[in-house]
């Protein structure tokens, strides 16, 4: 069965047992990129918003309850998403590895769990990263955050699309020796392959540091989320409107700059009209930048591949177009 199913799941190379961790790395790359793109689409709903504050703050419920409810719902979201991603791949990874390291139900369950856990941990990492950034923008810019964050979202979208495009090259460039020597520690994806290998118990020594980094990064990101959450709460209760006055000052300064570039009233009017068409709502802005991001993402991948002196992968194009059109 593995000869039929595995190439469908991992089309760029034949199933190779001794490099199962690299297959896991590749798979995690795809999962992380998709999780990242989905998180970006839900950017506004991730962190507590003014809407939450307005609707919930005067009700007789504690801020701790709101925090727990928010955290659990986000965790549930990541959990369900990871489950759907790992439900077919986990048994495959389990079967493949169990065949080599011990053909028993225990090994099958252990390896399947290891794969599922690494997918969940990585998705949580990507999600918490996007969440922390969303929180940062909300805290820094208040109600103007959605207007400015969209530029940053576009950048992230390009990044995630590029990750999809270079994953096969990245995975092919890895070696167990390099992992042992700590050469790839700057690649966060590898940290979560460390989760896979450590729970599997196959290469725990080589992957000890990546595993440690994976756990530390998750704790660190969760701590950032808690800190941002409490700062948001404290600012809300103290009255955040001060930010609005600052925003007004910034707006006045911006209109001064605008006059330099567009000295005639008609030019400014045209600029405002075009800007308002594209930026009439956060959804409009994200859609606009998503379309801009796709060619930029493709271009980035092309450049990355030229740097590697390799030709453009047909598989990437297929995967990318499939993902884009199904989305």
Binding site for another protein (CB under 8 A): 50-51, 53-62, 236-239, 241-242, 245-246
Buried b / exposed e over 269-286, threshold 16 CB at 10 Å, is eeeeeeeeeeeeebeebb
Per the listing, tokens 């039929």 go with 4
Comparing C-alpha atoms, which of 54, 231, 48, 253 is closest to residue 145?
A: 48
| Smallest distance, another protein to C-beta of residue 60, A | 4
**Closer to another protein at the Cβ: 44 or 99?**
44
The span from the CA of 326 to the CA of 37, in Å, is 13
Comparing C-alpha atoms, which of 207, 258, 219 is closest to residue 121?
A: 219
| Smallest distance, another protein to C-beta of residue 280, A | 16
Give the CA angle between residues 224, 286, 76 to the nearest 5°.
45
**Closer to another protein at the Cβ: 248 or 310?**
248
| Smallest distance, another protein to C-beta of residue 65, A | 9
Reading the block at residue 142, the tokens are 């208040």
**Closer to another protein at the Cβ: 238 or 309?**
238
**Closer to another protein at the Cβ: 83 or 233?**
233
Reading the block at residue 167, the tokens are 């994953």
**Closer to another protein at the Cβ: 239 or 263?**
239
| Smallest distance, another protein to C-beta of residue 241, A | 5
| Smallest distance, another protein to C-beta of residue 212, A | 41
| Smallest distance, another protein to C-beta of residue 298, A | 34
Comparing C-alpha atoms, which of 113, 121, 129, 138 is closest to residue 49?
A: 138
7 Cβ contact partners less than 8 Å away, ≥ 6 residues apart = 14, 15
**Closer to another protein at the Cβ: 3 or 245?**
245
| Smallest distance, another protein to C-beta of residue 57, A | 5
Long-range Cβ pairs for the range 62-71 (8 Å, 24+): 63/233, 67/226, 67/229, 70/229, 71/225
The span from the CA of 287 to the CA of 289, in Å, is 5
**Closer to another protein at the Cβ: 54 or 255?**
54
């Amino acid at each position: 069965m593995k000869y039929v199913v595995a190439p469908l799941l991992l089309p760029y190379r034949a199933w190779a047992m001794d490099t199962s961790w690299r297959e896991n790395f590749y798979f995690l790359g795809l999962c992380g990129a998709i999780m990242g793109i989905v998180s970006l689409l839900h950017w506004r709903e991730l962190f507590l918003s003014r809407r939450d504050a307005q609707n919930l703050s005067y009700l007789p419920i504690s801020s701790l309850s709101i925090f727990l409810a928010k955290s659990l719902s986000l965790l549930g979201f990541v959990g369900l998403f990871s489950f759907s991603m790992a439900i077919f791949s986990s048994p495959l990874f389990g079967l493949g590895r169990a065949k080599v390291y011990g053909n028993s139900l225990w090994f099958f369950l252990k390896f399947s769990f290891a794969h599922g856990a690494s997918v969940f941990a990585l998705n949580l990492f990507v999600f918490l990263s996007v969440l922390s950034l969303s929180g940062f923008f909300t805290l820094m810019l208040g109600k103007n955050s959605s207007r400015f964050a969209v530029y940053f979202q576009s950048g992230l979208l390009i990044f995630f699309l590029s990750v999809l495009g270079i994953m096969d090259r990245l995975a092919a460039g890895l070696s167990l020796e390099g992992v042992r020597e700590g050469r790839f520690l700057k690649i966060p994806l590898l940290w979560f392959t460390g989760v896979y290998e450590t729970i599997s118990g196959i290469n725990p020594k080589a992957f000890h540091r990546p595993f440690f980094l994976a756990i530390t990064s998750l704790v660190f990101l969760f701590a950032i989320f808690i800190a941002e959450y409490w700062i948001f709460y404290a600012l809300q209760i103290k009255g955040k409107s001060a930010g609005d006055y600052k925003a007004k000052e910034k707006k006045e300064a911006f209109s001064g700059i605008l006059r330099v570039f567009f000295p005639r009233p008609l030019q400014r009017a045209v600029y405002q009209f075009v800007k308002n068409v594209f930026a009439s709502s956060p959804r409009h802005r994200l859609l606009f930048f998503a379309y801009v991001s796709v060619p930029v993402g493709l271009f980035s991948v092309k450049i990355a591949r030229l740097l590697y002196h390799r030709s453009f992968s047909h598989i990437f194009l297929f995967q990318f177009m499939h993902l884009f059109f199904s989305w």
